[in-house]
């Protein structure tokens, strides 16, 4: 698999929106992705491509010294191949180089596959947002990764 990770562009938005809609019951509207690319100075966005096809995406916010994972998704046909892990590794490395020392995110309580991946990075459960997801009133699990400045990315690559 010839995987390329690159910065998201405005031309990628239609494919990213389609991927988001395939992946989540509460997808972001197109205008949100456009805002992230054109108007949000905290935003850091990347896509993963295989043979020119967008198969993954991640949107992060660098908030002072914290890297917030806003959304991450892999195309259903390409899941369990390490694409999300590679996207997250790329994003965290980039934001660490910009001064991030920690990272945090929210994940659906039922999304155990994502939680498992985050634990492999060293994220720990640090809280819960009751009824966070409005489509089914599901709780969000808050996860935090500290010590990003000393993180050993090599252990996750491969």
Confidence of residue 119 (pLDDT cuts 50, 70, 90): very high
Measure the CA–CA gap between 8 and 73, rounded to whole angstroms.
13
pTM above 0.75, yes or no: yes
Identify the pLDDT of residue 150: 84
Residue 73: C-alpha distances to residues 84, 101, 123, 138 (Å):
7, 23, 18, 19
CA trace torsion 146, 151, 154, 158 (10° rounding): 20
Confidence of residue 151 (pLDDT cuts 50, 70, 90): confident
* Mean pLDDT, rounded, of the chain: 93
Q: Which residue has the tokens 């949107």?
A: 59
Measure the CA–CA gap between 4 and 47, rounded to whole angstroms.
8
Q: Which range has the worst mean pLDDT, 10-14, 24-28, 128-132, 151-155?
A: 151-155
For the chain, the structural domain boundaries read 3-155
Q: Is 59 helix (H, G, I), strand (E, B) or coil?
A: strand
Q: Which residue has the tokens 């991946």?
A: 117
Query: What kind of architecture, by CATH, is found in domain 3-155?
Result: 3-Layer(aba) Sandwich (3.40)
Instruction: Indicate if the alpha-carbon torsion angle 142, 146, 149, 153 is positive or negative.
Output: negative
- Specify the DSSP element, H or E, that contains 91: helix 83-97
Q: Which residue has the tokens 């808050």?
A: 142
Q: Which token pair is 112?
A: 């155990």
Identify the pLDDT of residue 134: 86
Mean per-residue pLDDT, 137-149: 94
Task: Report the b/e string of 124-140 with b at 16+ CB within 10 A.
Answer: eeeeeeeebbeeeebeb
> How do residues 21-50 score in pLDDT, each as one tens digit?
999 988 999 999 999 999 999 999 999 999
């Amino acid at each position: 698999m010839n995987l390329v990770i690159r910065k998201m562009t405005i031309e990628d938005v239609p494919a990213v929106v389609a991927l988001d809609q395939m992946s989540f019951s509460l997808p972001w509207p197109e205008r949100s992705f456009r805002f992230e690319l054109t108007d949000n100075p905290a935003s850091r966005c990347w896509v993963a491509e295989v043979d020119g096809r967008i198969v993954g995406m991640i949107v992060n916010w660098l908030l002072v010294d914290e890297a917030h994972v806003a959304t991450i998704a892999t195309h259903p046909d390409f899941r369990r191949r390490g694409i999300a892990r590679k996207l997250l590794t790329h994003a965290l490395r980039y934001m660490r180089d910009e001064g991030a020392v920690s990272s945090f995110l929210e994940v659906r309580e039922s999304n155990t596959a994502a939680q498992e991946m985050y634990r492999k990075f060293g994220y720990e459960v640090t809280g819960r947002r009751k009824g966070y997801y409005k489509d089914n009133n599901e709780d969000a699990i808050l996860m935090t990764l500290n010590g990003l400045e000393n993180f050993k990315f090599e252990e996750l690559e491969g």
